[in-house]
Amino acid sequence: MDKKSPIKFTLTERDESVTISKWVYETLRHAVMNGQILPGRALTIRELAGILGVSPMPVREALRQLATENALEIKDNRRVMVPNMTAMKFTELCEARMALESHAASRALPYIDSPKLKGLRELDRLIDAAQEEGNLERINLLNQDFHRALYTANPHQISMPLIESLWLQLGPFLSLASRHLKEHYVVDRHDEAMRAIENKDALALQLAINADIREGIAFVSTPERLHHFIEECAYAGRN
């Protein structure tokens, strides 16, 4: 039995046509983005390799890749862990999200044709359904899909990887924070965004996206709560 809290994350079956490296990378990436690995928890190559049933090699590469997008942190000890959150870092990440995503949304707007609009409406509908059944994990996944679908409507878009880096950095903390919260104020500014898209109103779209981001993380945004969750977060990764 491990003295450390065991690591658990979603294991998707590997498609034979994809390299082991890529599969490991995407599995770990998904785990981090959806907060399945707690901040502060030390990750070792051999342990992950054992869980995933592969040799240490692909895991090494995946950890390094995740570190370069700041999803993981390689400390001086050469230990790899999910970074801890600070109040200021949290603020900066949210502000960066608003700046980048509102920009990406407005640059995608001209490319949203009727089928793409339909796809967004469908995602919006699925989110509403998931909210009724209170499936928080599903809501988060669908919310990501909605934003991703919007931004990647621009075929020349280059900012999605940057945005995902921010999602990766926020994921573990937001997951932990929402886990310790009884009531979830799930805000849905997507209707507002949809209207802006239909009207081809870039400014209104930017405002809707900013509101969606700001309110989507507002449940921790009061200074006291933020501080509380950061403490909580630091404790969770204690061992």
- Does 88 participate in binding a copy of itself (rule CB under 8 A)? yes
Which residues contact DNA by CB under 7 A? 3, 19-21, 43-47, 54-58, 60, 74, 77-80
Q: How far is the CB of 18 from a copy of itself (least distance, A)?
A: 12
Applying CB under 8 A, the span of 61-69, 123-131, 143-151, 176-184 interacting with a copy of itself comes to: 61-69
If the CB atoms of residues 1 and 88 are measured against a copy of itself, the closer one turns out to be 88
Q: How far is the CB of 187 from a copy of itself (least distance, A)?
A: 23
- Does 107 participate in binding a copy of itself (rule CB under 8 A)? yes
User: What amino acid is encoded at 205 in this protein?
Assistant: L
Interface with a copy of itself in residues 155-214 (CB under 8 A): 155-159, 161-162, 165-166, 169
Cα 218 to Cα 192: distance, rounded to the nearest angstrom: 18
Phi, psi of 113, deg, nearest 5: -95, -175
Residue among 24, 33, 72, 100 that touches a copy of itself (CB under 8 A): 100
